[in-house]
């Protein structure tokens, strides 16, 4: 079984400050890890993913995420938050081993974290 935990329902940050949205996961074997963002009245948009290689992954809109195998975490970060970053953020995981069968593309999503950036 695989699972994702996003421990914070909401994160509040002042514009210009760094932001972190936390994600921890549980999966057998190596993980494929994803971050998605959802703006109001929109579908989820892919931000970035980790499959292998460098633990620091850079994505869209200046976001990055750091894979930490020992802590089974994949926290989303941005050095300087913008008001326009306010949205709902989802972390998702898939076990790499499972990528090779028919269910390979199925992701397990976390419950989401609402990011509020105040001017």
Cα distance between residue 33 and residue 109, in whole Å: 10
Q: Does 52 bind another protein (CB under 8 A)?
A: no
Best CA proximity match to 5, nearest among 110, 86, 85: 110
> Total residues contacting another protein (rule CB under 8 A)?
22
State yes or no: residue 112 binds another protein (CB under 8 A).
Answer: yes
Binding part of the chain for another protein, among 13-21, 43-51, 52-60, 70-78 by CB under 8 A, reads 43-51
Distance CA 111, CA 104 (A): 21
Residues engaged in binding another protein (CB under 8 A): 32, 34, 36, 42-46, 49, 51, 90, 94, 99, 102-107, 109, 111-112
């Amino acid at each position: 079984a695989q699972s994702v935990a996003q421990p914070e329902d909401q994160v509040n940050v002042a514009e210009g400050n760094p932001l972190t949205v936390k994600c921890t996961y549980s999966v057998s074997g190596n993980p494929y890890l994803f971050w998605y963002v959802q703006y109001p009245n929109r579908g989820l948009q892919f931000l970035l993913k980790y499959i292998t290689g460098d633990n620091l992954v850079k994505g869209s809109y200046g976001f990055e995420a750091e894979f930490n195998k020992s802590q089974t975490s994949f926290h989303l970060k941005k050095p300087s938050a913008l008001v326009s970053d306010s949205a709902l953020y989802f972390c998702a995981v898939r076990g790499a081993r499972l990528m090779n069968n028919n269910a390979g593309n199925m992701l397990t999503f976390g419950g989401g974290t609402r990011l509020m950036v105040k001017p």
